[in-house]
Amino acid sequence: MTQQIIDQAKAVMRKNDHGTYTVPTHGLYPFQWNWDSALSALGFAHFDEARAWTEIETLFAHQWDDGMVPHIIFHKHDDGYFPGPEVWGTGREVPTSGITQPPVAGFAVRRIFDRARDKELAAAKARTLLPLIHAWHQWFFSNRDPKGTGLVAIIHPWESGRDNSVDWDTAFERVPTDGVQPFTRRDTSHANPAHRPTDEQYKRYIWLVEKFRSLGWDNSKLHDASPFQIVDPGFNAILIRSCSDLAVLAETLGETEIAAQSQAMADKAIEAIETLWSDARGQYLCFDRSVGALVDSPSIGGILAAFAPIPKARAKAVSDRIEVLAASCNFLVPSHDPTAPEFDALRYWRGPIWLIVNYMIADGLECAGQTAMADRINRDCLRLIELGGFAEYYGPINAEPCGGDAFTWTAAMVIEILN
């Protein structure tokens, strides 16, 4: 049974493999996405290490001169996705989007390196990637934390990877839609519109893209110019984890300066993330930097914080919080609290379960000694696969598979969990 599932997962990954990069799924997402690639590389590493390294190398081949690694790389023309390169207008030879995504590559590279069977290959690849990943981490703190708080802001919901989370609703009201010309969405012709973000949200997504484009994608200006600046605990946790993992990797490779700088960024952020803790909610919350207040929205962003090496007592509290959520759903971990009024069981990031997020939460809990909850989350991932196949995301009440099917990173996570 286990081998059969692994074989199916490998087949999904091979199907979406374009040789040097994978697409998340055919049709809906026909390009390379940033955090999809880093997490998918973990899956490849179990059966084709060279291919795993290539996935991450391709991603970093499109890093911008300022250090940013874009969220989409438009390797080949495909008009099945909106917004395409002409909307982004970033002016690059191989077009890319102009925003970034959760920086999970540092974590992935360390893990692939640590487990590598081909040590020589791993050392060579890690040595090349190390300064590139470090430059990206430094880019975050220079451009998305201009006041040096220790935590970085996202300036577009797409950067979080949790496109239509309830977390953004209030801040999004400050994003206008004037001047946005009519456009045709393509996602709703591939997937059920009832499971996707709304048209109103899409107009705001596009307004922000047009705003940033009008500033020439100059990252020294974008943060302050954006009416949307959110400090997301989940996003920051991924950055912290990648910085601390990169510190360990750099030390192993004898790159002591990168090691010290990475550890210093992680330490400062771990201290700062404490300001996002809410006793009332029993979890971390987002902080709306434009208005200077926490966002009282019980989403998975505040649970994903457990991916970072937060204090053990906090990890225990996050585990307790998941236990509370479990009372109102049949599968863990819902992307929003099922008892909250905004919860929407099948609409993208407003309720459904995403295996990649489950994987990172479980990994963090495991590291913090919360193994029973980590195991439970991983078991639920496998139950979902058995019931619904390799879907993009799943309903937490009835396990309904939603969004695109034959999804690369879902398959990669299953290979990770079963190995």
Residues near ligand 9YW, by CB under 6 A: 24, 29, 33, 35-36, 161, 163
Min dist. Cβ of residue 29 to ligand 9YW (A): 5
Q: Name the residue nearer to ligand 9YW (CB basis): 24 or 301.
A: 24
Q: Name the residue nearer to ligand 9YW (CB basis): 194 or 293.
A: 194
Q: Rounded to an integer, what distance in angstroms lies between the CA atom of residue 334 and that of residue 396? A: 6
Give the DSSP H or E segment for 284.
strand 283-284
Instruction: Please spell the DSSP secondary structure of 187-255, one letter per residue.
Output: HHHHS-GGGS--HHHHHHHHHHHHHHHHTTT-HHHHHHH-S--EE-HHHHHHHHHHHHHHHHHHHHTT-
Q: Rounded to an integer, what distance in angstroms lies between the CA atom of residue 366 and that of residue 388? A: 26
Q: Rounded to an integer, what distance in angstroms lies between the CA atom of residue 107 and that of residue 178? A: 40
Q: Any idea which residues carry the catalytic annotation?
A: 163, 392
Q: Rounded to an integer, what distance in angstroms lies between the CA atom of residue 331 and that of residue 353? A: 8
Return the structure tokens found at 151.
């935590």
Min dist. Cβ of residue 23 to ligand 9YW (A): 9
Q: Rounded to an integer, what distance in angstroms lies between the CA atom of residue 353 and that of residue 349? A: 8
Given a contact cutoff of 8 angstroms between Cβ atoms, the answer to whether 343 and 327 are in contact is no
Q: Name the residue nearer to ligand 9YW (CB basis): 155 or 272.
A: 155
Min dist. Cβ of residue 197 to ligand 9YW (A): 7
Q: Name the residue nearer to ligand 9YW (CB basis): 205 or 277.
A: 205
Residues whose CB is less than 8 angstroms from the CB of residue 22 and which lie 6 or more positions away in sequence, other chains included: 13, 16, 32, 36, 37, 40, 55, 408
How many angstroms from the chain centroid is the CA of residue 323? 23
Q: Where do the H-state alpha helices sit in 277-370? A: 301-304, 312-326, 355-367
Min dist. Cβ of residue 372 to ligand 9YW (A): 28
Q: Name the residue nearer to ligand 9YW (CB basis): 259 or 414.
A: 414
Min dist. Cβ of residue 157 to ligand 9YW (A): 9
Q: Name the residue nearer to ligand 9YW (CB basis): 17 or 255.
A: 17
Strands 230-231 and 277-278: unpaired
Min dist. Cβ of residue 392 to ligand 9YW (A): 7
